[in-house]
Structure 1
Amino acid sequence: MSLLLLLADAPGAAPVADAARGAASPADFMAARQQMAFTLGFHIVLASIGIGLPAITLLAEWRSLRTGDTVYAELARRWMKAAGVLFAVGAVSGTVLSFEMGTLWPGFMDKYGQVFGAAFALEGLAFFIEAIFMGVYLYGWDRLSPRAHFLTGIPVVIAGIASASFVVTVNSWMNQPRGFTLVNGEVTDVDPLAAMFNPATPVQAVHLILASLMVCGFLVASVYAVALLRDRKAGRVDRYNRLGFAVPFSLGAVCAPLQVLVGDWATRFVADNQPIKFAAMEGVEHTQAGQPFKFAIFEIPNALSLMLKFDAHATLRGLDSFPADQRPPAEVVRTGFELMIVMGMFLLALAAWWGLTWFLRRRAAGRVGELNARADLPWKPWFLRAATVAGVAAVIAMEAGWTVTEVGRQPWIVYGVMRVEEAVNPNPGLRFGLYVVLVVYAVLAAATISVLRRMRRRPEPAAPADSPKEKVPA
């Protein structure tokens, strides 16, 4: 999640006594929530890169096979090496999360593990397939034929998407629990398939995969945007950096408008199935007909009812129609939702400008003078500066979105079935685990950044030494 989730304290979420398990102290209860939020927020970025970077790598290698351009091949080799490093780090952070599920939330795992356990088993299988083929792909450079080597990368992409999708089925089940029956508090009639393919799975899975591709695309492109700004100051633009920017940015630009459509789908799903979360997202405090749309300091009368129900006078439920002890921390949820929208609109604007430039260049392809005048449009300093920020903006949007998803479900760990305080480990000392995790992850992050910085240097030139560099258009 994000800092918003670390600071969230859901009403009614204070530990309560349990005759069988006891209760965690308020400090340990909050520490458990903060530790899970921090480790999830750290891991989700690595998971996004694990989905997106292999896809970007294969796209570059495919272009190399089609055009014979060695720059694409060099980029693919560089990106997959970085993916290998981040895959290893992601495996560590993912393992920590799997242990935390048992050590921090034993009540949850003990009662419902049998319902969603199959999804975690399938995720583990997909993870092993991804790891095996990533090793083959990395080792296969210069050892396999170009076509065979390209084919070994396809399972990496597919397995990465499958792995993330199986994990998302668990989170979607927590939002829309299915596949079991409660009899006197005991779980019976378990149906793992019904649990995995619950109503929230399609929208959450598509939303996450698109977000991962978009985050990775803009994040990688931002690195090359910085390099291009430095090249412009030197009076030239290295083609390696141009293609290194164009390939991932194009992927992010394609995903941005699709994510807006899927986001609308997700919002409507939440409105129908988790109305209290929707009320918190939109800042709807009171039930009324003709709800206004509020954003920051702006308010449009009747607009929210019109957008959601296509009826300007439709009645939408507010937070006041739900019991106080079942309401999420509305300010946190709303802030996260607005932050996600702002970052998403910024990325969409950059994607639209990139697409418009591509269209104008294609249209002017037969008119050389016009093409030359427009060829430099996406490489202007202001655009590259905005693209530099885009990587961070995409990460913020993802973290804010996860904050909305998780904090908006509070005070439930399983929506409408189990509260968070019923799931937490009642044993003392959980806060010390948080301190250890913070230190370990700080070391892990520093080591990862150090390794990636050492990998920045290009091992070989992208073109023969006597080939001229591209000149920056006037």
Structure 2
Amino acid sequence: MDLDNTVLARILTSLTLGFHIIFAALGVGIPVMISIAEWLGIRRKDPMYTLMARRWVKGFTVTVAVGVVTGTCIGLQLSLLWPSFMKIAGEAIALPLFLETFAFFFEAIFLGIYLYTWDRFKNPYVHWLISIPVIIGSTASAFFIMTVNAFMNAPQGFTLKNGSIVDIQPLVAMFNPATPSKAGHMILSSYVASAFVLAAIAAYRILKGNKHEYYRKALTLTMVTGLLFAGGTALWGDIAGKYLAEYQPAKLAAAEWHFETKAQAELVFGGVLDKETMEVKYGLKLPYALSILAGSSPDTEVTGLDRIPRDEWPPLIVHYLFDSMVAIGCYLLAVPLLYFLYRRLKKGAIPRFVLRLIIGGAPLAMLAIETGWIFAEVGRQPWILVGYMKTQHAATTAGHVGEMLILFTLLYLFLGIVSSLVLMRMFKNKPAEAELRS
């Protein structure tokens, strides 16, 4: 591969987004878990749930801090690495970028109030209510930034004249056809990942022999929410599939190695592609499933890559990214069901292998977000702004992109190590059972 500026810019942007999305996903989902735990603590008069909220919010502040740094890096790189794109589309995406910043400030203000007002109110529900604006701010922040990505996939709300966009309608640009599927799927995925990260911590403590009721209650709570959010993500994935079928058929066709336009199209999982004959070998083919995904009917005609100009085909490797995301989604649905099955059969005793599956769900949930994000971006290629601007025409022509890549890689390595050490030291000598006794 020739490492020209376009390739280097894509690698650096991918690295930044891939690192940032870990903290962004936790930043969206953890506030929901905190609020639920505190509400249960008040409702049931159970200090263990209240302690969950107290401990989780401490860790949440670290993810927020790192997310701010990496989010700032993304804003910087949009201008430095993709100046032609920003020149064309900057005015159309200015409103959601501003609103995303406003939503973060809104979240940060109420997070500060939430952190420093524990036990300050006679009515504990007053403190719990402060968590709601934090959830609104974090979720709104994700929504607004996803509208920017949605605009890149389904640009509208402007007129293109002489290489510039004019007659801009910011709200029309924001609420484009891709917005519901993009924003909804990302927000629910963040909720799932956060539930499983917290579940993995509780499962790990139980696996290590800690029998305290705090961890059992935390595990049950996170498994309940994980199941609900995983189900919601799967349902929203159906919406995303129907969006792709109508508005980005090339991405769906590449994801499914669907080369021939036809009705009663099968969904292909796995397999190996013979690039000479374009035949899929060893794959699992589900009859009619792709047509049902695309239009809720086995008779729905699904556009194949035969109707897409060859130079506009996305890289066919996205098939494996799509399969990975779907497979992990099924795993995240199955594990909570298995957990509750054993709870019922064993009257609360959870086998060690189920605990290990729960622990494995945390990195897999994050991997699903990463593969989903890569699929969304690589599957849009060769376009940075679908139908209007190709990626190779948007990258900077300035030098030193390679040096920037090295510097930002070192920055993310430093942030990753430091944040991990801070989180471990924050809780290492302060187990939950000791805090309950104090």
Normalising by structure 2, we get a TM-score of: 0.92
Shift of 1:184: 2.2
**Which of 443, 446, 461 is 2:414 aligned to?**
443
CA distance in 2, matches of 1:463, 1:184: 67
Name 2:249's counterpart in structure 1. 275
Name 1:342's counterpart in structure 2. 327
Counterpart residue identity of residue 461, structure 1: A
Name 1:226's counterpart in structure 2. 204
Asked whether the equivalents of residues 84 and 395 of structure 2 are also in contact (C-alpha less than 8 Å), the reply is: yes
Asked whether the equivalents of residues 230 and 333 of structure 2 are also in contact (C-alpha less than 8 Å), the reply is: yes
Counterpart residue identity of residue 411, structure 1: P
Shift of 1:150: 1.5
Asked whether the equivalents of residues 217 and 249 of structure 1 are also in contact (C-alpha less than 8 Å), the reply is: yes
Asked whether the equivalents of residues 264 and 300 of structure 2 are also in contact (C-alpha less than 8 Å), the reply is: yes
CA distance in 2, matches of 1:306, 1:446: 45
Name 2:276's counterpart in structure 1. none
CA distance in 2, matches of 1:453, 1:50: 18
Shift of 1:205: 1.4
Name 2:430's counterpart in structure 1. 458
CA distance in 1, matches of 2:194, 2:348: 24
More off after superposition, 148-157 vs 40-49:
148-157
Name 1:432's counterpart in structure 2. 403
Shift of 1:164: 0.6
Question: What pairs up with 1:207-222 in 2 under 5 angstroms?
Answer: 207-222=185-200
* Matched pairs, number: 423
SS of the aligned residue for 2:160 comes to strand
Q: Which runs of 5+ in 1 are unaligned?
A: 1-8, 10-24, 361-372, 466-474
Shift of 1:341: 0.9
SS of the aligned residue for 1:330 comes to coil
SS of the aligned residue for 2:434 comes to coil
Shift of 1:312: 4.5
Counterpart residue identity of residue 286, structure 1: E
Q: Give yes or no for the alignment of 1:376 onto 2:348.
A: yes
- Seen in structure 2, the aligned counterparts of structure 1 residues 463 and 136 have a Cα distance that, compared at 3 Å, is closer
Q: Which runs of 5+ in 2 are unaligned?
A: 271-282
SS of the aligned residue for 2:6 comes to helix
**RMSD between superposed Cα atoms in Å:** 1.9
CA distance in 2, matches of 1:384, 1:267: 32
SS of the aligned residue for 1:269 comes to helix
Q: Which has the larger radius of gyration?
A: 1
Asked whether the equivalents of residues 291 and 303 of structure 1 are also in contact (C-alpha less than 8 Å), the reply is: yes
Counterpart residue identity of residue 60, structure 1: A
Shift of 1:249: 2.5
Asked whether the equivalents of residues 240 and 462 of structure 1 are also in contact (C-alpha less than 8 Å), the reply is: no
Q: Give yes or no for the alignment of 1:137 onto 2:88.
A: no
**Which of 38, 48, 63 is 1:71 aligned to?**
48
Asked which structure has the greater RCO (Cα within 8 Å, sep 6+), the reply is 1
Kindly, what percent of the aligned residue pairs are identical?
A: 38
CA distance in 2, matches of 1:200, 1:311: 22
**Which of 40, 43, 48 is 2:20 aligned to?**
43
Shift of 1:298: 1.5
- Seen in structure 2, the aligned counterparts of structure 1 residues 150 and 313 have a Cα distance that, compared at 3 Å, is closer
CA distance in 2, matches of 1:30, 1:307: 33
SS of the aligned residue for 2:21 comes to helix
Name 1:390's counterpart in structure 2. 361
Q: Could you give the per-residue CA deviations for residues 169-189 of structure 1, whole angstroms, max 9, x where no partner exists?
A: 111111110110011222110
CA distance in 1, matches of 2:75, 2:164: 24
Shift of 1:321: 2.1
- Seen in structure 2, the aligned counterparts of structure 1 residues 301 and 161 have a Cα distance that, compared at 3 Å, is closer
- Seen in structure 2, the aligned counterparts of structure 1 residues 176 and 68 have a Cα distance that, compared at 3 Å, is same
Asked whether the equivalents of residues 255 and 319 of structure 2 are also in contact (C-alpha less than 8 Å), the reply is: yes
Question: What pairs up with 1:121-200 in 2 under 5 angstroms?
Answer: 121-145=98-122, 146-200=124-178
Name 2:305's counterpart in structure 1. 319
SS of the aligned residue for 1:413 comes to strand
- Seen in structure 2, the aligned counterparts of structure 1 residues 119 and 463 have a Cα distance that, compared at 3 Å, is closer
Asked whether the equivalents of residues 119 and 169 of structure 1 are also in contact (C-alpha less than 8 Å), the reply is: yes
Asked whether the equivalents of residues 32 and 424 of structure 1 are also in contact (C-alpha less than 8 Å), the reply is: yes
Q: Give yes or no for the alignment of 1:237 onto 2:211.
A: yes
SS of the aligned residue for 1:316 comes to coil
More off after superposition, 452-461 vs 385-394:
452-461
Counterpart residue identity of residue 319, structure 1: L
SS of the aligned residue for 1:141 comes to coil
Q: Give yes or no for the alignment of 1:330 onto 2:316.
A: yes
CA distance in 1, matches of 2:67, 2:300: 46
More off after superposition, 240-249 vs 335-344:
240-249
Q: Could you give the per-residue CA deviations for residues 251-306 of structure 1, whole angstroms, max 9, x where no partner exists?
A: 11111111111101101110111000010011112334543321122224554335
CA distance in 2, matches of 1:300, 1:336: 18
CA distance in 1, matches of 2:177, 2:42: 41
Asked whether the equivalents of residues 70 and 462 of structure 1 are also in contact (C-alpha less than 8 Å), the reply is: no
Question: What pairs up with 1:360-371 in 2 under 5 angstroms?
Answer: 360=344
Asked whether the equivalents of residues 5 and 395 of structure 2 are also in contact (C-alpha less than 8 Å), the reply is: no
Asked whether the equivalents of residues 88 and 163 of structure 2 are also in contact (C-alpha less than 8 Å), the reply is: no
Q: Could you give the per-residue CA deviations for residues 137-173 of structure 1, whole angstroms, max 9, x where no partner exists?
A: 1111233442322122211111101111010111111
Asked whether the equivalents of residues 219 and 391 of structure 1 are also in contact (C-alpha less than 8 Å), the reply is: yes
SS of the aligned residue for 1:461 comes to helix
Asked whether the equivalents of residues 242 and 295 of structure 2 are also in contact (C-alpha less than 8 Å), the reply is: no
CA distance in 1, matches of 2:225, 2:297: 36
